A and B are shown apart, each in its own frame.
Chain A
Amino acid sequence: MSSKLKRQPPAISLLVFTVLAIWMILAAFPFLWTLWGSFKVEGDFFSKADWANAIKGTLTQAETGGSFTGDGYYGAWVQEEFWRAALNSVIVCIFVVSISLTLGTLGGYALARSTYRYAFWFLLAALIFRAMPPITLVSGYLPVFFQWNLWGHTATTIIVLVAINQPFTLWMLHSFFKNIPAELDESAMVDGCTRFQAFRNVIIPVMWPGVITTGLFSFLLAYNDFAVTAMLLSKENQTMIPKINSFLGTTQTKGNVMFAVSAVVSVTAPLFLMVLFFQRQIVGGLTAGAVKG
């Protein structure tokens, strides 16, 4: 590759460099800007007078005495009890990921191993379900959930998110299990295992890479969801994303905008770490369905 790079004419190298530089600024700058700004006061974060204030923190120094302030974080996490929402998010994510993966590995495995036509129809139905905007389903849940008093509970939301997650999980794990040679579990069954024993003893030990990748995406779906959690959770069970949205409603009074900014940075941080540690799996997962056709 390095020899190829050397052969690049300078004009091409310059073009590549420009494209990459512009894209890096577009992709990274908004996050860095908001992270930096979250430690300032509102007058600096939104500095009409001089944009350099946002970097130097002139007003922050005037108002709080230091160049950085954690007021926004204190306001969001302590005053507005954002920690409660964070806790709810953790609970929702843990349960959604573990239940989705349990159901998904069983189903995905069966779909990968079945040679009958109905397996194809099942996958096609899942694809159609995947295309349904979640909010259209929510308007189907509400009357029933109100009627049966299921509305507002964390458990209801977890099950709904698991179901909405299933089509994607099934597709991903199905294509993953297809890559594990069928001879592996078939030979176990020749040796006298039942189908489930073969799955348990032979497939489970080798399936972890695919399960981790799928789990990351299940986590993202649960963590990032707004439509379902905003409509189905009562105020005290709210997760972080609808909580931020309710911050926005009350940001008109001065200072509250910074609560929302700090909360936004707090939500971004775990995602940032996730991409940092699982970059390879995420890239692999995104391309799993595509490259194999």
Chain B
Amino acid sequence: MKHRSFFWFVLPSALAMLLFIFFPIISVIVQSFHVEHEQVIKTVETCDLFGCKESTTIDQEATAALKEAKPLGQFAGFKTYLDRNHLATSEVSATWNRTNSWRDFGAQMLNLPFYKAIGFTLTFTFVVTPLVIILGFVIAVAVNSAAKRLRGVLIFFSLLPMMITPLVGALILFWMVDARGIIGTTLQYLAGDPDLSVKASTPLMWIMLMVYGVWHAAPFAFIVYYAGLQTVSQDTLEAARVDGANRWLQIRHVIIPHLLPLTTFIALMQLMDNFRVFEPIVSFAANAHATSLSWAIYNDLGGETRQLSSAAATSVLTILGVAILLSPVLVRTWREFDRK
């Protein structure tokens, strides 16, 4: 394809991504190095019978003028990054000096908003991703050995947890684990504790969020594996059977190696998606127990005072996290392309 026609074909799409993905990233980075203007204070001298007094008031006009002149705010360097809501360097070093065991240090760190968010985000990502892969594989093998006419129905119901809006799917589960909901009541019965409440317990809330994560994403792994299973060579399976391989050995030595490239694909998509975990925290109202990086940004942006600089700094840190997470994959893709 000629350069010229390529350019015109790609232009609209490239423009959209440039304006609404690339520039916002730049804008976020710039914003994160600025903070809002301080209000301009002016000193007014008021005189009365007893003499003159100086008082200070906010100069509204000057503040507005300053905002007009420099809409970004004032340059702050890494100040926002280092404050208590982000990397919290001074708090971390103080905690480091104060505590004398790793366990204690870790517990203290989770009180800092940023470390609380990243702690949950990483735990969620690295617990949910492998579980999704395993569960998806198990379901795929099971559906593949079910009778053919049942498979359509099985796939239909399997797709539902993935297709559902994350916010809505999480709400549905949340209402069921409510202390008065069906799962919540069952849990109370099983634990023999009538006051047991998922909402009140941090470990239970973490587990619940991860259960939701697996429930939501397992169908994706299932579908990909199921499609992969359709392309397993029947001859190889037959040969393995003739050689005396039982079912487990067939799975272990024929099916799993065949599906391995798909696992890389699923893992990549899952790492990307789980790292942005956000909606279930809103639905479960879990922010007292678990927050994520995305939730922290959402929280800064919403509400009465929009803390744009704070949100921007968290965004930059999140983007760095995504970059680190993806770098092995990107390097590999690039090498593979180079070889071609």
How far is it, in angstroms, between the C-alpha of A224 and the C-alpha of B146 when the chains are bound?
Answer: 32
Q: Which residue of B lies closest to A136 (CB)?
A: B315
B residues whose Cβ falls under 8 Å from a Cβ of A: 1-3, 5-6, 9-10, 12-14, 16-17, 19-28, 31, 71-72, 138-139, 142-143, 145-148, 152, 154-161, 163-168, 171-173, 175-176, 178-182, 185-186, 215, 219-220, 223-224, 226-228, 231, 247, 261-262, 265-266, 272, 275-276, 278-279, 282-283, 285, 293-294, 297-298, 300-302, 306, 308, 311-312, 314-315, 318-319, 322, 325-326, 330, 333-334, 337
Residues of chain B contacted by A136 (CB below 8 angstroms): 25, 28, 294, 297, 315, 318-319
CB distance from A232 to the nearest CB of B (A): 10
How far is it, in angstroms, between the C-alpha of A289 and the C-alpha of B21 when the chains are bound?
Answer: 23
Main secondary structure of the interface of A (DSSP, over half): helix
- Convert A118-139 into 0s and 1s, putting 1 for each residue whose CB lies closer than 8 angstroms to a CB of B: 0110101111111111111111
Q: Decide if A282 touches B159 in the complex (CB within 8 Å).
A: yes
A residues whose Cβ falls under 8 Å from a Cβ of B: 1-2, 4-5, 8, 12, 16, 19-20, 23-24, 26-28, 30-31, 33-34, 45-48, 51, 54, 102-104, 106-107, 109-111, 113-116, 119-120, 122, 124-144, 147, 159-160, 162-164, 166-167, 170, 195-196, 199, 220, 223-224, 226-227, 230-231, 241, 244-245, 248, 260-261, 264, 267-268, 271-272, 274-276, 279, 282-283, 286-287, 289-291, 293
Q: Which residue of A lies closest to B5 (CB)?
A: A195
Given contacts A133-B318, A136-B318, whether A16 and B142 have CB atoms under 8 Å apart is yes
Cross-chain contact of A106 among B10, B172, B279, B314 (Cβ < 8 A): B10
CB distance from B6 to the nearest CB of A (A): 5
Q: 10 new A-B pairs (CB below 8 Å) besides A23-B158, A271-B165, A291-B227?
A: A5-B145, A20-B142, A31-B172, A45-B175, A107-B13, A107-B14, A140-B28, A166-B21, A271-B164, A291-B228
Cross-chain contact of B301 among A28, A138, A223, A274 (Cβ < 8 A): A138
Q: Decide if B322 touches A264 in the complex (CB within 8 Å).
A: no
CB distance from A231 to the nearest CB of B (A): 6
How far is it, in angstroms, between the C-alpha of A285 and the C-alpha of B278 when the chains are bound?
Answer: 25
Residues of chain B contacted by A28 (CB below 8 angstroms): 157, 160
Q: Decide if A24 touches B215 in the complex (CB within 8 Å).
A: no
Q: Decide if A286 touches B157 in the complex (CB within 8 Å).
A: no
Cross-chain contact of A46 among B21, B27, B178, B219 (Cβ < 8 A): B178
How far is it, in angstroms, between the C-alpha of A163 and the C-alpha of B18 when the chains are bound?
Answer: 9
Q: Decide if A48 touches B185 in the complex (CB within 8 Å).
A: yes
Residues of chain A contacted by B19 (CB below 8 angstroms): 163
Q: Decide if B171 touches A264 in the complex (CB within 8 Å).
A: yes
Q: Decide if A139 touches B219 in the complex (CB within 8 Å).
A: no
CB distance from B145 to the nearest CB of A (A): 5
Listed residue (A103, A126, A130, A260) with the most chain B CB atoms within 10 angstroms of its CB? A103
Q: Which residue of B lies closest to A247 (CB)?
A: B171
How far is it, in angstroms, between the C-alpha of A35 and the C-alpha of B182 when the chains are bound?
Answer: 14
Cross-chain contact of A276 among B147, B156, B185 (Cβ < 8 A): B156
Residues of chain B contacted by A20 (CB below 8 angstroms): 139, 142-143, 146, 154
CB distance from B274 to the nearest CB of A (A): 11
How far is it, in angstroms, between the C-alpha of A30 and the C-alpha of B176 when the chains are bound?
Answer: 8
Cross-chain contact of B326 among A51, A131, A274 (Cβ < 8 A): A131
CB distance from B229 to the nearest CB of A (A): 11
How far is it, in angstroms, between the C-alpha of A2 and the C-alpha of B145 when the chains are bound?
Answer: 10
Q: Which residue of B lies closest to A289 (CB)?
A: B265
Sort A-B residue pairs by CB-CB distance and give the 9 closest, nearest first. Answer: A140-B24, A163-B20, A110-B9, A107-B13, A46-B180, A133-B276, A287-B227, A136-B315, A139-B311
Q: Which residue of B lies closest to A5 (CB)?
A: B147
Given contacts A116-B3, A131-B326, A142-B301, whether A34 and B175 have CB atoms under 8 Å apart is yes
How far is it, in angstroms, between the C-alpha of A16 and the C-alpha of B12 when the chains are bound?
Answer: 50
Q: Which residue of A lies closest to B222 (CB)?
A: A23
Given contacts A116-B6, A244-B168, whether A166 and B301 have CB atoms under 8 Å apart is no
Residues of chain B contacted by A120 (CB below 8 angstroms): 337
Cross-chain contact of A279 among B159, B186, B247, B311 (Cβ < 8 A): B159
Residues of chain A contacted by B152 (CB below 8 angstroms): 279
14 contacts between A and B (CB under 8 A): A2-B147, A24-B157, A47-B180, A122-B14, A128-B330, A135-B298, A137-B20, A138-B301, A140-B26, A140-B31, A166-B17, A227-B278, A248-B285, A272-B160
Residues of chain A contacted by B172 (CB below 8 angstroms): 30-31, 34, 264
Q: Decide if A245 touches B167 in the complex (CB within 8 Å).
A: yes
Cross-chain contact of A162 among B16, B161, B247 (Cβ < 8 A): B16
Listed residue (B13, B23, B181, B247) with the most chain A CB atoms within 10 angstroms of its CB? B13
Residues of chain A contacted by B1 (CB below 8 angstroms): 110, 113-116, 195
Given contacts A20-B142, A119-B6, A244-B167, whether A46 and B298 have CB atoms under 8 Å apart is no
Residues of chain A contacted by B139 (CB below 8 angstroms): 19-20, 23
Residues of chain A contacted by B13 (CB below 8 angstroms): 103-104, 106-107, 166, 170
How far is it, in angstroms, between the C-alpha of A106 and the C-alpha of B15 when the chains are bound?
Answer: 13
Given contacts A54-B182, A279-B159, whether A133 and B278 have CB atoms under 8 Å apart is yes
Q: Decide if A133 touches B294 in the complex (CB within 8 Å).
A: yes
Q: Decide if A16 touches B145 in the complex (CB within 8 Å).
A: yes
How far is it, in angstroms, between the C-alpha of A103 and the C-alpha of B333 when the chains are bound?
Answer: 25
CB distance from B128 to the nearest CB of A (A): 15
